[in-house]
Amino acid sequence: MTNSALLLFGPPGSGKGTQAVLLAGALKMPHISTGDIFRKNVKDGTELGKQVKQIMDSGQLVPDELVNKIVADRLGDSDCASGFILDGYPRTAVQAEMLDCYLRTKGIPKVVVNLVVDYNVIIERITARRSCPACGAVYNLVSNPPKSDNVCDRDGTSLIQREDDKEDVMRKRFEAYNAQTLPVMDFFKVNGYRLVEAVGGNGAPEELTARVLAGLNG
């Protein structure tokens, strides 16, 4: 997988972020998350962060031109020269076209990993997620609850439910995904991207990682 662009694809809450971290460790490739970049800017209170927060809280997707600029800047860093993992990008046809142009210019092979997870499983998992506003720790009331009810194990801060983890926002995110992101898969197929599918669910994240790696090596 060295020198390749690994694109993680799947609906909101399918585990792209977790899989990106695990795969980055296994494949020794940098993990680039547009969501992480946006959230850092929101936390730091930058102008970009203020703009993105309003969009994310409403469950909508960040405009293509803004996402493309951020990704293009990041891919220019030296650690991406030997391949990289993209998490949360591309999400629209416009983003896919920009990325495809970049990858073709650089001669970088493309592999799409499509995480297939049942909608109801995702809703159950995401709406049970709670975060610590102080240290950033993330819990799940079902699979990874805090030791004390609704209190962070690390610093005792009351946990919160992020706006984009609430069910009504999640449903809006799914609607946006179905309308804008699913057609990107057609773009991948037409342009000859290699496709690896892996079915996830309520099992350990490492189990899904093993299936992804098996598919990549198959």
Catalytic residue, from 91, 110, 125, 211: name it. Answer: 91
Look up 125 and say whether it is catalytic.
no
Look up 16 and say whether it is catalytic.
yes
Cβ proximity of 57 and 63 under 8 Å = no
Catalytic residue, from 16, 39, 125, 130: name it. Answer: 16
Look up 130 and say whether it is catalytic.
no
Residues 45, 51, 53, 56: what is their CA dihedral angle, to the nearest 10 degrees?
-160
- Which residues have C-beta within 8 Å of that of residue 161, sequence separation ≥ 6? 127, 129, 130, 131
Look up 129 and say whether it is catalytic.
yes
Catalytic residue, from 125, 130, 173, 211: name it. Answer: 173
Catalytic residue, from 39, 129, 130, 211: name it. Answer: 129
Catalytic residue, from 53, 162, 171, 172: name it. Answer: 162
Look up 211 and say whether it is catalytic.
no
Crossing angle between the packed helical segments 16-27 and 205-217, to the nearest 10 degrees: 60
What are the residue numbers of the active site? 16, 91, 129, 162, 173
